[in-house]
Structure 1
């Protein structure tokens, strides 16, 4: 069924009239401090309450809902070695939510999905507002999660409510899911897919500045451990073995220089670049721990890093195994040029491998979303999502080709004073509502 100009006008007018309701919804969501905890067995304050709030909104539309706490150990046993499977995760007090708005039958289904967990706010003195008391300032909503990604959750909820309130006929089902655990590995999305939530196409409302992003990066978190031999920093060393003290600071510098060499190589390697991505894959050093005492030669160095990979670099389980081996082999080559490291090589320990996906530009759902964006007055050009998102799990495991499309500048994610424009929220909700009608009618 073609979407008429009258349909578009009704959707646009309805959401313009409900801009305050959309802003209020996002403020409500921000006010739940649904912080993801680094301890995977501990529930973040507000995770459950936030999901209950959303469940009540879905139930008000007559939707069938499912609020459940996944069985983390059972999921790990089932999917060990696959994307999203992380040992030690539990979900007590951390439920996922799913709901279905039934169509009349015979049409294509669409899944709207997002996460409600947020990262900690960091030092409160870096904020000009309370991160968990949402404020509206000059048309922008401030608070933790405004961009990443409760703004997207609010927009997809209002889009669905608009379709329902206007009585727009749908043949296909609309599936609505919100998950926890995204910010520490994606096991919530794994649980969602395992639960059976899937559709003919999907939209994950991560912040993309309302651009259509059918691609995201996979990410690898790891640490490189360099063992030296400690000693007194101010005295002539006298070794307890044939080597004597070996400064781990110097060794760590050498490894860092070697990472720079690999990054320069990747910068010009076609396999590490994508036309939709503004930057090549990189190994980004995100942490350094070297030394034990101001008067001691450092005995150990630890380099923590974040590396990206692209979907075409997947291994046979759709993860980054090939890139892990590439990094390990490069670290081994760095060690070969130093006599001490040749005998005592640095070792790489892996913390996380989060998958990625790419939906072809000519996929019907992508083309339809481009039309919906155009009809909502947005730029239909495709873009890449430079960070990781969970689109790989519904796409590769659940068979739901899922794109990223959501409100807000992603540069505000994880920063103090996170904020999103209300106008962006409204524009996003319009495009999603139009896509619901285009795809499911």
Structure 2
């Protein structure tokens, strides 16, 4: 642990907090990240980083097996890379500190007690959409490298700061595009808000929708129609039962430590009917299913198809009009990083020295951009500040924890690039 780093950060923490505040005040809902990217570009330029910007090439990136099509056009959207060239870059290992600029919508606004774009600080918490997920992490990455540069540390290896688009929509045009463009280093860290835990695994995730056909009729002659809602309920109930069974029988310790439950089948959206006086002729149910290492996308697809087919088999209408299943959006295999890899072990050692307590290794039932490292045979992990209400009202981040994260990263840059040979 270098006391010069801690002293510098303590003396300049208001700059860190103000930068987070200013970034939170910029509305960067997924698909509209441009203004926030420009803000961080200026920050990267201020500390002398080599700037790279590029827009994803849909035709090329969509060929990758890990690509997820968000349905949001890439036109006018760019990823931002800031590169510090190490003093001994030919021999020293390199490092990526990664974050995403996009945030989810704050709607419904009525649930907030503060302005979601205000960046208001109350006590030691900074409030606003993206404050935790994950603009504070983006800024912590910058502040860690800025600290070393300002203190004149001769960093041996290259350090890349990645500021990407559309993580919230799958990361296809963001992190994956960066890897495919060749922005690959020997180690990768995503500063997601993981409460000062080291995350080395996350669940596989897939989205699917089920369409059930009914028969429309006037409400005054409803007996002549077939209500798609009531038929969908049979499918809904079967999927609810599957979720219950999996939650009780499918276990994975890392996910239980990080998320409390290893797997989830969320029945997230149901749409049916278009007029109150008409028997609904179609119902559409959209779902998200998570799965653990050892389960595959192929197996999960079969499980869902079999469950819905069995539900339909007990209903004459559904037997003759089988539900249609479509897979869309998120489709990722589980990610698992070997905790014994030198990258992870070194990070654990650094973080425990800085935080002065044991750091837990966990997994999460949600997804993040670190999963793309497995396709390039590189080590990756997630580590970030303490946050609350991500994707919900009154999202906030603990500012002291952000300062600690930046301190860990600054020391780790030295520990990783100075003490290892590639």
TM-score, length basis structure 2:
0.91
Q: Aligned pair 1:352/2:355, yes or no?
A: no
5+ residue gaps, structure 1? 38-43, 239-244, 315-319
CA distance in 1, matches of 2:79, 2:136: 18
Q: Aligned pair 1:342/2:328, yes or no?
A: no
Once the two structures are superposed, the pairs formed by residues 194-209 of structure 1 within 5 Å of their partners are: 194-209=180-195
Name the residue aligned to 1:51. Answer: 37
Name the residue aligned to 1:101. Answer: 84
Once the two structures are superposed, the pairs formed by residues 19-418 of structure 1 within 5 Å of their partners are: 19-37=13-31, 44=32, 47-76=33-62, 78-79=63-64, 82-86=65-69, 89-105=72-88, 106-187=91-172, 188-235=174-221, 237-238=223-224, 245-270=225-250, 273-277=252-256, 278-314=260-296, 320-355=297-332, 356-377=334-355, 378-393=357-372, 395-409=373-387, 411-418=388-395
- Check the 8 A contact 1:218/1:353 in 2, yes or no: no
CA distance in 1, matches of 2:261, 2:222: 47
Query: How many aligned residue pairs are there?
Result: 410
5+ residue gaps, structure 2? none
CA distance in 2, matches of 1:354, 1:24: 37
- Check the 8 A contact 1:222/1:351 in 2, yes or no: yes
Name the residue aligned to 1:241. Answer: none
The CA deviation string for residues 361-414 of structure 1, in whole angstroms up to 9 with x for no partner, is 211111111112211215411112231111112x123333211111133x5111
Q: CA deviation at 1:214?
A: 0.6
Determine helix, strand or coil for the equivalent of 1:190. helix
Q: Aligned pair 1:11/2:5, yes or no?
A: yes
Q: CA deviation at 1:84?
A: 2.2
- Check the 8 A contact 2:70/2:170 in 1, yes or no: no
Q: CA deviation at 1:102?
A: 1.5
Q: CA deviation at 1:134?
A: 1.5
Q: Assess, with a 3 A threshold, how the Cα gap between structure 1 residues 236 and 25 changes in structure 2: closer, same or farther.
A: closer
Determine helix, strand or coil for the equivalent of 2:350. helix
The runs of at least 4 consecutive aligned structure 1 residues that moved more than 6 Å come to: none
Q: Assess, with a 3 A threshold, how the Cα gap between structure 1 residues 311 and 390 changes in structure 2: closer, same or farther.
A: farther
Calculate the aligned-residue CA RMSD, in Å: 1.9
Determine helix, strand or coil for the equivalent of 1:230. coil
Q: CA deviation at 1:133?
A: 2.6
- Check the 8 A contact 1:211/1:379 in 2, yes or no: no
Name the residue aligned to 1:41. Answer: none
Q: Assess, with a 3 A threshold, how the Cα gap between structure 1 residues 385 and 13 changes in structure 2: closer, same or farther.
A: farther
Q: CA deviation at 1:88?
A: 5.4
Q: CA deviation at 1:429?
A: 0.9
